[in-house]
Amino acid sequence: MDSTETRCSSMSVLQISLLARKPQTLTKEEKRLRTNAYMKLFYVKNRETIKARVRLYRSTHLEADKEYYQRDKDKKNAQRKTRRNRPREKLTDEQRAIRIKESEGRFRENHPDYGRIKYLKHRNAALASAKKYRTEHPEQTKRARAKYYKNNRDKSSQNGKAWRAKNTIRVLYHIAKRRALKRGAPIGDLEALAAWEHSVRSKKYVICYWCMTRISGVSCNLDHIVPLSKGGAHAVENLCVSCQPCNSRKYNSLPQDWNKRLPQPRLFF
């Protein structure tokens, strides 16, 4: 059976099965259903060609269409009214929800890439709308994230690890900012902080401000000259590049105290 046949959602399972049987073995009703199935399949395969022909015919037969409509106008209006007024099946809310879900499932099956294509086409607008919603509805956003994490704990953990490994600089920046907020320290221009840290981390090698040792830009420490616990600000003016040993030994010492312990003291103004 052709894959196109399975994509024709308007065909029933019976019609699809009849396509594989020989006409001689079918009853009159089955032959009718088989013919309808072939017609639907032909339309699916030649949809654009058929639509183009219909548009061409209508553009060249406007007067004929008007005459045809006027000829049996009352009869056609009566038929439409009869169809509109015929009793319809009344559905419960549960039945209606099931039908909607089945319809959405068929649409996703027949158009697997529709959602992705639509998102890529309107990506910027979608991101802006999502950001606006999160800003205006913080409580709902928080509950939704907690619910998603609870139902997808392993997946969330893997995604978090992958994101942190890919965005090391941003992770370190947020850790430093969080430390400053916890200690109640003054915080400088966040954009300038992010730009300065990105500049340092993106370099292959940097020089430790305290011991003048050359170290890797990715693995260097960003040290507060005046510690946060002693009233220092989390700002570019109070930050320097440091190696791990110097940062650990300095700990929360004030510059003038730490300066005395250095082999080659640094000058402070």
Mean pLDDT of 70-87: 82
Mean pLDDT of 47-55: 89
pLDDT in tens, 209-221: 998 899 998 889 9
Q: What is the pLDDT of residue 6?
A: 43
Q: What is the pLDDT of residue 115?
A: 83
Q: If we measure between CA atoms, which residue out of 257, 198, 183, 255 comes closest to residue 224?
A: 255
Q: What is the pLDDT of residue 15?
A: 60
Which CATH code is given to the segment(s) 166-260? 3.30.40.220
Q: What is the pLDDT of residue 132?
A: 93
Q: What is the pLDDT of residue 12?
A: 59
Q: What is the rounded average pLDDT for all residues in the chain? A: 82
Domain boundaries, the chain: 1-55, 166-260
pLDDT in tens, 124-176: 999 999 999 999 999 999 999 999 988 998 888 898 888 888 887 778 777 77
